[in-house]
């Protein structure tokens, strides 16, 4: 996460917190809390003390900490009981370009990295498909013709990876 993004998140959270405090203060004033009547006026405004009830609990993930929301009937609320982020679990076999480790070669299958449910990429790999296999062609330049006492040798070269093998003609 970039520093600029972190600062933006902090700014947004501060603005939300200010709004919640402002709204809860207004709600409390409507219910009579935090207001003082003039000295010459007696008012029968009922006292209000917050009675916070446990609300929604958000479970932690590998991207967001968990927490519980507590709310009062006047609209005031707060979050507490924070639970730390979970560690990534790299157990998903997702075949996408962003998780590609290496493409298939003549001798190896395509390899992908395991990923987490959040989309993060791990270090361990899994295979997909089969190796491509060699594409050998006779190389006249590397082959040798038969000579007196020696047999001809044909040399074959893989057109994909350059691997060679020789065979008596």
pLDDT tens digits for range 123-156: 999 999 999 999 999 999 999 998 998 999 999 9
Which residues, 6 or more positions from 62, have their beta carbon under 8 angstroms from its beta carbon? 85, 86, 87, 88, 89, 116, 117, 118, 120
Q: How far is CA 140 from the centre of its chain?
A: 53
Is the same domain home to 78 and 147? no
For the chain, how many structural domains are there in total?
Answer: 3
36 is a domain residue: no
The pLDDT, as a whole number, for residue 99 is: 96
> Which tokens go with 16?
């939300």
154 is a domain residue: yes
Tens digits of residue pLDDT in 25-54 = 555 555 555 545 556 555 555 678 999 999
> Please, which pLDDT band fits residue 116 given cuts at 50, 70 and 90?
very high
Q: What is the pTM of this model?
A: 0.54
Instruction: Give the domain extent around 119.
Output: 97-128
Is the same domain home to 76 and 113? no
88 is a domain residue: no
Supply the mean pLDDT for the chain: 84
115 is a domain residue: yes
């Amino acid at each position: 996460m970039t520093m600029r993004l972190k600062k933006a998140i902090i700014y947004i959270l501060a603005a939300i917190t200010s709004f919640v405090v402002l709204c809860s203060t207004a709600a409390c004033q409507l219910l009579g809390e935090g207001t003082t009547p003039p000295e010459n006026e007696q008012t029968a405004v009922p006292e209000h003390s917050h009675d916070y009830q446990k609300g929604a609990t958000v479970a932690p993930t590998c991207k967001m900490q968990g927490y519980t929301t507590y709310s009062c009937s006047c609209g005031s609320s707060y979050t507490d009981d924070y639970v730390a982020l979970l560690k990534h679990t790299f157990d998903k076999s997702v075949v996408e370009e962003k998780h590609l480790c290496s493409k298939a070669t003549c001798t190896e299958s395509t390899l992908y990295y395991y990923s987490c449910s959040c989309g993060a990429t791990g270090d361990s790999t899994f295979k997909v498909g089969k190796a491509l296999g060699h594409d050998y062609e006779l190389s006249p330049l590397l082959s040798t013709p038969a000579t007196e006492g020696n047999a001809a040798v044909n040399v074959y070269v893989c057109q994909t990876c350059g691997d060679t093998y020789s065979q008596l003609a």
